[in-house]
C-alpha cells in the first residue's frame, strides 16, 4: 500500500494571517455609521456647516415664496446657490487635504 503524503503549502499555512490583516485585530469592532459620520465631521467640519447653510437658505426661500415675498425668495435662492458652492469647495478641499496628509 502506498502512503499518500500531504504537502503543506506555505500559503495555506499563513492564510489566517491574511484573514487577520483583512479583518483587523480580534475583538476590534467595526465602525458604526454614527461613529463614521462623527469622524468625518471632525475631519472636515466645513462640509456640515455648508449643508446646514444650504438647507436653511432653501427652507427660508421656500417659506418666503409661499408667503408671496418674491424679493426675499430670490435672495434666499441665490444664497442657497452660494452655500452649495461653498459646500462643494469645502468637500474638494477636504479631499485634497486628506490626500496631502497621507
Helix axes 46-67, 70-101, angle to 10 degrees: 170
38-94 pLDDT per residue, tens: 988 888 888 899 999 999 999 999 999 999 999 999 999 999 999 999 999 999 998
Domain ranges across the chain: 43-102
Residue 74 CA to residue 54 CA, distance in Å, equals: 14
Q: What is the pTM of this model?
A: 0.63
**What size, in residues, is the chain?**
102
d(CA 21, CA 72): 57
CA distance 82 to 44: 19
Q: Is 91 exposed, middle or buried (0-12, 13-18, 19+ CB in 10 A)?
A: middle
Amino acid at each position: 500500500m502506498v502512503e499518500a503524503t500531504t504537502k503543506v503549502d506555505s500559503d495555506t499555512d499563513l492564510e489566517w494571517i491574511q484573514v487577520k490583516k483583512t479583518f483587523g485585530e480580534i475583538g476590534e469592532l467595526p465602525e458604526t455609521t454614527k461613529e463614521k459620520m462623527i469622524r468625518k465631521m471632525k475631519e472636515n467640519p466645513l462640509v456640515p456647516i455648508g449643508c446646514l447653510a444650504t438647507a436653511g437658505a432653501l427652507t427660508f426661500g421656500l417659506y418666503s415664496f409661499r408667503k408671496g415675498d418674491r424679493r426675499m425668495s430670490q435672495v434666499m435662492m441665490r444664497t442657497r446657490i452660494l452655500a452649495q458652492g461653498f459646500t462643494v469647495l469645502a468637500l474638494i478641499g477636504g479631499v485634497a487635504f486628506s490626500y496631502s496628509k497621507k
